């Protein structure tokens, strides 16, 4: 896989999408910049004000995800008068960087130097966990808009850390149950890169698949970020006799795996399924016709047929000349949730906002469809998406609903 096969984006940046999806893999520079007119607690003319730290990757491997997230955030504010719950919003954008060390340093700067009222964003799971003691000490809210590792809102949860995106296991488990019904007796092969997110996705899929009566025909863990030739693994898939494949890949690895899967001749005889990041965002165009027919599970598609998504997708495409990705949608929803919490809260402290989040009930105007918090993680619907050609462009068409699930232990 070369950068030439994905114009304008380096291989390193594409590989980063895989780690950024939700793993604890090692994620350089850290800084911040005020995006809007600064204001104190009173604001101009006595108007209430709130200061939010938007912590996203602005450089390095995950900059593409960060760009999508910022665009989703900015679009929400632009369409709502730059306010949350009657508060004039000042956004301070900080570079999460690529490692927990740079991310935690960015959070510390937002909380201590910038004195923000809340922090939103975070791509890397280890960064989210590393920030938990900081926000607890400051008694401020951290609203995670991407990082998907289970412990963030599970065993290592903090009352100040809430998530509006997904738990890795949610995405994998619903597809495991679905495939058990379709190919359980035939056997399904499981393959994902050898790092934390790959392990979480593989384990959650296999557990749900087996529980529903499915048989794993084999499994593989290609080295993460260094594997470019998947032929040895594709040969093992063919030899296993599996009638379907479940995989987790993203970024450059997703492009390479999908293309080689089709070139190897497996696409016509062994259906390929995966976590939604396999065909999400810019990688889909790079995969080209090789992606046709690939099925994935995710909590969002820009093709969802509901009023909120039609409005969001049209506005996003109109402003940025590209369809919205799940990363953009999650930032949009983070803004929407914070708006609701500030309307309900007595003040901007982490305790007050946490209490407000707990009482929000159903978020009924999200592009993903209605969802709610269960604990501190979304309880939401997941969709089976099939890559199809529509108007000359590849899209993740919504084929079915895979059910609604909350945090999985």
Sorting pLDDT into bands at 50, 70 and 90, what band is 13? low
Kindly tell me if the per-residue pLDDT of 358 is higher than 50. Answer: yes
| DSSP line for 60-111 | STTHHHHHHHHHHHHHHHHTTTTEETTEEEEEEEEE--SSHHHHHHHHHIII
d(CA 288, CA 274): 17
Query: For position 62, what pLDDT does the model report?
Result: 84
Query: For position 47, what pLDDT does the model report?
Result: 67
d(CA 255, CA 273): 14
Q: Domains of the chain, with CATH numbers?
A: 31-166+306-375 (3.40.50.2300), 169-298+382-405 (3.40.50.2300)
Sorting pLDDT into bands at 50, 70 and 90, what band is 9? low
Task: Check: CB of residue 402 under 8 Å from CB of residue 382.
Answer: yes
Query: For position 59, what pLDDT does the model report?
Result: 85
d(CA 43, CA 284): 44
Kindly tell me if the per-residue pLDDT of 174 is higher than 80. Answer: yes
Instruction: Render pLDDT for 71-87 as a digit per residue (tens, 0 to 9).
Output: 999 999 999 999 999 99
Task: Check: CB of residue 373 under 8 Å from CB of residue 361.
Answer: no
Q: Which of 14-28, 102-116, 222-236, 375-389 has the lowest mean pLDDT?
A: 14-28
d(CA 109, CA 107): 5
Kindly tell me if the per-residue pLDDT of 370 is higher than 60. Answer: yes
d(CA 202, CA 193): 9
Query: For position 33, what pLDDT does the model report?
Result: 35
Query: For position 41, what pLDDT does the model report?
Result: 53
Tokens representing 225 are 């970020």
Instruction: Render pLDDT for 283-297 as a digit per residue (tens, 0 to 9).
Output: 999 999 999 999 999
Mean pLDDT of the chain, nearest integer: 91
Better-scored residue on pLDDT, 17 or 366: 366
Query: For position 217, what pLDDT does the model report?
Result: 97
Kindly tell me if the per-residue pLDDT of 149 is higher than 50. Answer: yes
Sorting pLDDT into bands at 50, 70 and 90, what band is 36? very low
Sorting pLDDT into bands at 50, 70 and 90, what band is 409? confident
Sorting pLDDT into bands at 50, 70 and 90, what band is 17? low
Query: For position 368, what pLDDT does the model report?
Result: 98
Average pLDDT over residues 258-276: 98
Sorting pLDDT into bands at 50, 70 and 90, what band is 35? very low
Task: Check: CB of residue 204 under 8 Å from CB of residue 149.
Answer: no
DSSP conformation class of 158: -
CB atoms within 10 A of CB 312: 26
Query: For position 60, what pLDDT does the model report?
Result: 79
Query: For position 30, what pLDDT does the model report?
Result: 33
User: 264: buried, middle or exposed (CB in 10 Å: 19+, 13-18, 0-12)?
Assistant: middle
Instruction: Render pLDDT for 106-146 as a digit per residue (tens, 0 to 9).
Output: 999 999 999 999 999 999 999 999 999 999 999 999 999 99
Kindly tell me if the per-residue pLDDT of 97 is higher than 60. Answer: yes
Sorting pLDDT into bands at 50, 70 and 90, what band is 38? very low
Instruction: Render pLDDT for 300-316 as a digit per residue (tens, 0 to 9).
Output: 999 999 999 999 999 99
pTM for this entry: 0.91
Better-scored residue on pLDDT, 49 or 2: 49
């Amino acid at each position: 896989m070369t950068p030439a096969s994905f114009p304008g984006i380096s291989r390193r940046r594409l590989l980063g999408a895989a780690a950024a999806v939700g793993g604890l893999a090692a994620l350089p520079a850290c800084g911040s910049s005020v995006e809007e007119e600064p204001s104190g607690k009173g604001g101009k003319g006595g108007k209430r004000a709130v200061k939010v730290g938007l912590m996203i990757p602005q450089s390095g491997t995950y900059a593409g995800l960060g760009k999508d997230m910022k665009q989703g955030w900015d679009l929400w504010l632009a369409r709502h008068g730059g306010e949350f719950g009657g508060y004039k919003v000042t956004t301070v954008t900080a570079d999460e960087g690529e490692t927990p060390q740079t991310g935690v340093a960015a959070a510390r700067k937002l909380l201590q130097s910038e004195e923000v009222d809340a922090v939103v964003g975070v791509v890397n799971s280890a960064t989210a966990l590393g920030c938990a003691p900081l926000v607890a000490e400051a008694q401020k809210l951290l609203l995670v808009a991407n990082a998907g590792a289970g412990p963030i809102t599970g065993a290592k949860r903090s009352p100040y850390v809430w998530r509006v995106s997904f738990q890795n296991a949610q995405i994998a488990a619903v597809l495991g149950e679905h495939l058990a019904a379709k190919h359980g007796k035939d056997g399904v092969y499981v393959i994902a890169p050898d790092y934390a997110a790959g392990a979480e996705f593989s384990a959650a899929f296999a557990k749900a698949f087996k529980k529903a009566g499915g048989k794993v025909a084999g499994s593989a863990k290609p080295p993460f970020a260094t594997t470019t030739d998947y032929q040895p693994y594709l040969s093992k898939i063919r030899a296993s006799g599996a009638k379907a494949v479940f995989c987790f890949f993203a970024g450059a690895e997703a492009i390479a795996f999908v293309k080689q899967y089709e070139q190897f001749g497996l696409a016509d005889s062994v259906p390929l399924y995966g976590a939604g990041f396999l065909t999400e965002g810019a990688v889909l165009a790079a995969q080209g016709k090789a992606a046709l027919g690939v099925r994935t599970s995710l909590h969002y598609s820009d093709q969802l047929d509901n009023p909120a998504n039609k409005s969001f997708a049209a506005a996003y495409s109109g402003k940025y000349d590209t369809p919205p990705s799940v990363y953009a949608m999650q930032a949009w929803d983070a803004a929407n949730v914070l708006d609701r919490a500030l309307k309900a809260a007595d003040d901007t402290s982490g305790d007050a906002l946490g209490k407000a989040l707990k009482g929000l009930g159903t978020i009924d105007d999200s592009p993903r469809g209605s969802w709610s918090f269960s604990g501190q993680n979304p309880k939401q619907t997941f969709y089976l998406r099939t890559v199809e050609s529509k108007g000359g462009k590849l899209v993740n068409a919504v084929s079915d609903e895979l059910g609604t699930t909350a945090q999985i232990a």
